[in-house]
Amino acid sequence: MTGDDTPATDGGTDTEGADSLALDPWGSSTVSDYRKLFEEFGIESFEDVLADIPNPHYLMRRAIIFGHRDYRRVLEAMRDDEPFAALSGFMPTGDPHIGHKMVFDEIIWHQEQGGDAYALIADLEAHSARGLSWEEIDEHARDYLLSLLALGFDPEEGTLYRQSEDRDVQDLAFELGIEANFSEFQSIYGFDGETDVSHMQSVVTQMADILSPQLDEPKPTVIPVGPDQDPHVRFARDLAARTRYFGVTEAYASFEMDDEERRLVARAYEALTDESDTVRCTDAADWLAGADIAGGETDALDSAVEKLEAAGKEPLRPRVRFLDRNATDEAFEALIDAIEGEKRVFEGHIDSFDMDRADAEDLAREVEVAHGGYGFVPPSSVYHRFMTGLTGGKMSSSIPASHISLLDDPETGYDKVKAATTGGRTSAEEQRELGGEPDDCPVYELYAYLLAADDDEFAERVYEECREGDRLCGDCKEQAAQLMKEFLAEHQEKRAEVEDLLEETDIELESPRRR
């Protein structure tokens, strides 16, 4: 979840072959084919929701934000003027650079759309997983915060905090740790017997960071990250579900089914209701046994038929099921009383025959919160592409020549752009004849990600001129270098202007843990 990209010192999964989707939150992995993420990890294409966003950020319009997980939930809250939040964390291991600016911009954009914006300094993670001293952390944290404010974050409307100083986050991390176990840390993060306990604790703290915007009230929350941080998002979603008092599913009979079994029984029910008003479990078992079911569903088919046959003549009836996960006795009884219409109460679950699933989920959350539960909404996420380093490969804080720091002297920024590799041909003549390769050019990325700002027409013109061979690399880099110089000068002027604003915030700028 943090905006750091330096190599892990321990505990991270093997980053060799990262392009085959070994996502490592602490590694320096890249993803060469983002489409694989849709298939392997269930990340959805951002293009599918873009049309529903009334004022999309240019990072969205240019497909730099390429994927999402459950972002529609956030968009619905945005559209209906209901509460939602955006949060991201920054591990202060070096200077903030132009790659981090993407995340700053995403947080600020969501704040401008009416969301509760949270930006945190992941100092516990930096100390435990990177071994930074508290003095180093303080210095870098201040730089991150100044750049965030200079870019437009409103501290009066948003929340800034440090992991080490937020007791609510630490208390939540303790509670979430009850729901996590070491085998999960092994399978998700590759931790082993040599991994520091504090490193593992920092992971649970990040889970608490992700869910903390919902401590006052449950609400959709989006976490803008690079795809390497997706393991954190998935783990947080799992922990959010485990803390819930009630689960809500659809059901057709008194027995339990998994998702695959439920889909098969639903098919049988829909087919048989055309022939009879009452469909019994044995009828559905016979139908499934004779149906043409894809081979991949064989195991689910066998188990579904077995359960249906065991239920015998029990009628199949669609219903919404409330499952007791962690509810207190008082909360369970309160839910029974709150469900209107026809219902059946079992040990461990309640079936409602007159509610739809959306209303049932709202009711379950309402009862949970009223009886002391969190009622967490599963956190959503959006994923942006990695910026290519100026020297090729991934942009990294640990390789100064690969990135442009937001603290770089404007002349230094100019020089770095002028020295950057390009997607150009071997000669000007070949460039004019064959055209350039902007899709493989770190300099063009500077235009698309930063230098063109909100001007899509300018970004597209640079792209087309390069591809058609009308734009040569020397002139292109000179223009980019000048624009970078201007951006850095303006940004650093704004940083100076918000110094007093930072001092007025509640965030601790000097850690009491310093020795």
How confident is the model over 409-427, as pLDDT tens digits? Answer: 999 999 999 999 888 788 8
| Same-domain check for residues 88 and 224 | yes
pLDDT at 18 exceeding the cut of 60: no
Is residue 111 a contact partner of residue 157, using CB atoms and an 8 Å limit? yes
In a domain, residue 5? The reply is no
Average pLDDT for 40-58 = 92
User: What pLDDT digit, counting tens, does each position of 301-359 carry?
Assistant: 999 999 999 999 999 999 999 999 999 999 999 999 999 999 999 999 999 999 999 99
Predicted pLDDT at 429: 87
Q: What is residue 3's predicted lDDT score, i.e. its pLDDT?
A: 56
Domain boundary among 370, 391, 425: 370
Pair 206, 305 in one domain: no
**Are residues 366 and 218 part of one domain?**
no
Q: Please check the confidence at residue 149 and state whether its pLDDT lies above 60.
A: yes
Assign 218 to helix, strand or coil: coil
Residue 197 lies in a domain: yes
At residue 482, the pLDDT reads 98
Residues 308 and 408 in one domain: no
Residue 257 domain-assigned?
yes
Kindly tell me the burial class for residue 503, based on how many C-beta atoms sit within 10 Å of its own C-beta (0-12, 13-18, 19 or more): exposed
Environment class of residue 494 by beta-carbon count within 10 Å: exposed (0-12), middle (13-18) or buried (19+)?
A: middle
Among 350, 370, 390, identify where a domain stops.
370
Across residues 424-434, what is the average pLDDT?
84
* Token pair recorded at residue 197: 């306990």
pLDDT interval class at 40 (50, 70, 90): confident
From residue 507, alpha-carbon distances to 142, 211, 475 in Å are 10, 19, 44
Query: 94 vs 4, 157, 240, 245, 417, CA distance in Å?
Result: 9, 27, 32, 41, 20
**Same domain, yes or no: 348 and 440:** no
pLDDT of residue 214: 98
Are 234 and 318 in the same domain?
no
pTM above 0.85, yes or no: yes
Determine the structural domain holding residue 194 and report its residue range: 83-243+377-382
Give the DSSP H/E element, type plus range, for residue 86: strand 85-90
Apex CA 89: angle with CA 4 and CA 180, to 5°? 100
Yes or no: say if 188 and 147 are a contact pair by the CB < 8 Å rule.
no
Half-sphere exposure of 238 (CA within 13 A, CB side): 14
Chain segment 178-213, per-residue pLDDT in tens = 999 999 999 888 899 888 899 999 999 999 999 999
Closest CA relative to residue 160, chosen from 124, 204, 190, 122: 122
Same domain, 351 and 457: no
Residue 451 belongs to a domain with what CATH number?
A: 1.10.240.10
Tally of domains within the chain: 3
The verdict on residue 28 lying in a domain is no
Average pLDDT over residues 90-113: 95
One-character DSSP codes across 260-288: HHHHHHHHHHHHHTTT-S--BHHHHHHHH
- Specify the residue for token string 């320096």: 28
Report the CATH number at residue 148.
3.40.50.620
Q: Are residues 87 and 128 in the same domain?
A: yes
- Residues 238, 268 within the same domain: no
Q: What is the pLDDT at residue 16?
A: 32
Give residue 21's pLDDT: 44
- CA distance readout (Å), 232 to 2, 94, 209, 335: 10, 22, 11, 32
SS3 per residue for 323-349: EECCCCHHHHHHHHHHCCCCEEEECCE
How many angstroms from the chain centroid is the CA of residue 133? 28
Domain boundary among 335, 356, 382: 382
Q: Are residues 351 and 417 in the same domain?
A: no
Is 9 a member of any domain?
no
- The answer as to whether 211 is a domain residue is yes
pLDDT band at 139 (very low <50, low <70, confident <90, very high): very high
In a domain, 311, yes or no: yes
Residue 390 is assigned to a structural domain of this protein = no
Q: At what angle do helices 197-211 and 230-242 cross, to 10 degrees?
A: 70
SS (H, E, C) 96-131: CEHHHHHHHHHHHHHHHCCCEEEEEECHHHHHHHCC
Tell me what pLDDT residue 189 has.
87
Clarify whether residues 223 and 331 are in a common domain: no
Q: Is 357 helix (H, G, I), strand (E, B) or coil?
A: helix
Bin 159: left if φ > 0, else alpha if -120 < ψ < 50, else beta.
beta
Residue 281 sits in the same domain as residue 221 = no
Q: How many CA atoms lie within 13 A of 162 on its CB side?
A: 24
List 160's β-bridge partners, or say none: 119
